[in-house]
Amino acid sequence: MARQISVTLARPGMQLARSVYDDKGRVLLQAGVKLSEYHIHRLRNHMAVITIEDEISEGILVHEVIPQELRVQVQKTLEEEWSRLRSQVSFKRVSFSASFAKSMRLQVRSLLEVMRGTQIIKENMASLAGYDNGTYVHSVNVTIYSLIIGVALGLSETMLMDLAIGALCHDIGKTLIPASILTKRGPLTPDEYRQMKDHAAIGYRILKQQHEFSVIVSRCAHEHHERINGSGYPRGITGEQIHYLSKIVAIADVYDAMVMHRPYREGVPPGDVMEYLFSRAGSEFDFHLVQLFGKRVVPYPIGTEVTLSDGSVGIISNIDTDMPARPTVRIIRLANGTSVSPREVDLMKQLNVTIIRSSSVSVLEGIE
């Protein structure tokens, strides 16, 4: 029983439904903790969104795409290796630790096992990122979104392994980007943005030296910002010049980057990001891959706040896998702003009612 709320709404006595982790995979606050003023102060410096249990969320289940323990394990492996790479004196010859490739393959197999049994993603995974672990959460999210496409395409075991490792390592070039740029809590200047764009080429140079991984892995890092019409970077290549797996990672990367919360802005609602991708399908992104992605990732994840065409406001409480665009909404506020006892509206049955607006995170205070 849980829902995701803006951390600005956190109040003493609220109960965490999901543990909060730092960039090293350490628990900052354990699930089940009742928040104090001190906890809230720490959370506001660390997170944009938290998951709580309350009266509004009673009976709502947030479907974790992968077990939290596995996610933390993968993120910790990435954090440790990325930190080690940053400490190397020369990037002319970069070598991974002896255990990294083995750990990656074992963890990717675990991810694959989970994703093979996943038909559709109902969770808003952007809410799992804190300000200090966003890079690692993003890398895992991009891998999950990439694998949901790869599994649906029926790619071979070898291709899925390359896709997953390529997605996990797609941002490895950021290890050589100044920390002041990576952690900046605000928009980048033109010069900072130019430096940030270098990460794709840097990642390629790092990964192509690692003989433990396929060359396709390095191409995913090099090409995940390329676009099929040539408008991307670093080389501005087009169409079939871009590897097919890189095209998958590109879609997953843009989606997660846009929905993820930043210190200086809220994440874009998932439905709006899906519209963005479809508006560029066939020009910037592979049309078939965007179409497949749209069928496997719901536009209104569980816990999303929505406004309906009759003016009422609620949160997504259930999703029909066959018709994800017509979910069940738990109404708690009328068009005139009056709070009401929660009631369910199944949009599969109430066909005269539509969703006209969604939010990246619930800002509903509760029931009066």
Structure confidence by residue, pLDDT tens digits, 211-241: 899 999 999 999 999 999 999 999 999 999 9
Report how far residue 106's alpha carbon sits from residue 176's, in angstroms, rounded to the nearest whole number.
26
The residue-averaged pLDDT of 301-323 equals 91
Are the CB atoms for 257 and 296 separated by under 8 Å? no
Are the CB atoms for 128 and 63 separated by under 8 Å? no
**pLDDT value of residue 89:** 53
**pLDDT value of residue 367:** 47
pTM over 0.85: yes
- Domains in the chain with CATH codes: 3-53 (3.90.105.10), 68-296 (1.10.3210.10), 305-358 (no CATH)
Report how far residue 138's alpha carbon sits from residue 252's, in angstroms, rounded to the nearest whole number.
10
Nearest to 206 by CA among 334, 352, 336, 86: 86
The residue-averaged pLDDT of 339-359 equals 93
pLDDT band at 64 (very low <50, low <70, confident <90, very high): confident
Q: Could you say which DSSP state residue 168 is in? A: H
**Six-digit token string for 234:** 């670093």
Nearest to 169 by CA among 101, 90, 68: 101
**pLDDT value of residue 135:** 87
Q: What is the mean pLDDT of the chain?
A: 90
**pLDDT value of residue 366:** 52
pLDDT band at 299 (very low <50, low <70, confident <90, very high): very high
User: Does 368 score more than 50 pLDDT?
Assistant: no
Residue type, 32: G
Distances (CA, A) of 35 to 13, 52, 98: 5, 10, 42
**Six-digit token string for 18:** 């999901």
**pLDDT value of residue 117:** 92
99-119 pLDDT, tens per residue?
899 999 999 999 999 999 999
User: Does 294 score more than 70 pLDDT?
Assistant: yes
**Six-digit token string for 324:** 């994800």
Report how far residue 92's alpha carbon sits from residue 81's, in angstroms, rounded to the nearest whole number.
17
Are the CB atoms for 146 and 324 separated by under 8 Å? no
Longest distance between any two alpha carbons in the chain, whole Å: 64
**pLDDT value of residue 129:** 75
72-91 pLDDT, tens per residue?
899 999 999 998 888 875 55
The residue-averaged pLDDT of 133-155 equals 94
**Six-digit token string for 19:** 């543990």
